[in-house]
Amino acid sequence: MSAETVMTPPSQVAAPPEPRRMAHPTRHRVQSRVFRIGRWVVIIGFLIATLVPFYYMLLLSVKPIGSLLQNPASLWVRPSEFTLQTYVDVLSSTASGGQGFGRFLANSGVVALASVALALLIGIPGAYAIARLPFIGRRYVSGIFLAAYLFPAILMAIPLFVGFTRLGLRGNLVGLIVVYTAQTVPVAIYMLRNYFETVPEAIEEAGLVDGLTRMGVLRQISIKLALPSIMSTGLFVFMIAWNEFLFALLFLVDRRERWTVSLGLSQLSGSVEVPTTVLMAGSVVLTLPIIIIFFATERLLTGGLTAGAEKG
Q: What CATH number should be reported for the domain whose range is 90-302?
A: 1.10.3720.10
State how far the alpha carbon of 204 is from the alpha carbons of 196, 216, 222, in Å.
Answer: 11, 10, 7
The predicted pLDDT at position 31 comes to: 78
The predicted pLDDT at position 115 comes to: 94
Q: Which of 293, 282, 236 is nearest to 259 (CA)?
A: 282
3-state secondary structure the chain: CCCCCCCCCHHHCCCCCCCCCCCCCCHHHHHHHHHHHHHHHHHHHHHHHHHHHHHHHHHHHCCCHHHHHHCCCCCCCCCCCCCCHHHHHHHCCHHHCCCCHHHHHHHHHHHHHHHHHHHHHHHHHHHHHHHHCCCCCHHHHHHHHHHHHHCCHHHHHHHHHHHHHHHCCCCCHHHHHHHHHHHHHHHHHHHHHHHHCCCCHHHHHHHHHCCCCHHHHHHHHHHHHCHHHHHHHHHHHHHHHHHCCHHHHHHHCCCHHHCCHHHHHHHHHCCCCCCHHHHHHHHHHHHHHHHHHHHHCHHHHHCCCCCCCCCC
Q: Dmax over Cα atoms in the chain, in whole Å?
A: 125
- Dihedral, CA atoms, 99, 105, 111, 113, nearest 10 degrees? 180
State how far the alpha carbon of 17 is from the alpha carbons of 20, 21, 22, in Å.
Answer: 9, 12, 15
Scored b (16 or more CB within 10 A) or e, 189-200 reads bbbbbebbeebe
Residue 115, Ramachandran bin (φ over 0: left; ψ between -120 and 50: alpha; else beta)? alpha
**pLDDT per residue of the chain (312 residues) written in tens, 0 to 9:** 444 455 555 555 555 555 555 545 577 787 788 888 888 999 999 888 888 888 888 888 888 888 888 887 778 888 888 888 888 888 888 888 788 888 999 999 999 999 999 999 999 998 888 888 877 777 777 677 777 777 777 888 888 888 888 888 888 899 899 999 988 898 888 888 888 888 888 888 888 888 888 888 888 888 888 888 888 889 889 988 998 888 998 888 888 889 999 988 888 776 667 788 888 888 888 888 888 888 887 776 665 443 334 444
The predicted pLDDT at position 16 comes to: 55
Cβ contact 255:165 at 8 Å: no
The predicted pLDDT at position 20 comes to: 55
The predicted pLDDT at position 11 comes to: 52
The predicted pLDDT at position 311 comes to: 41
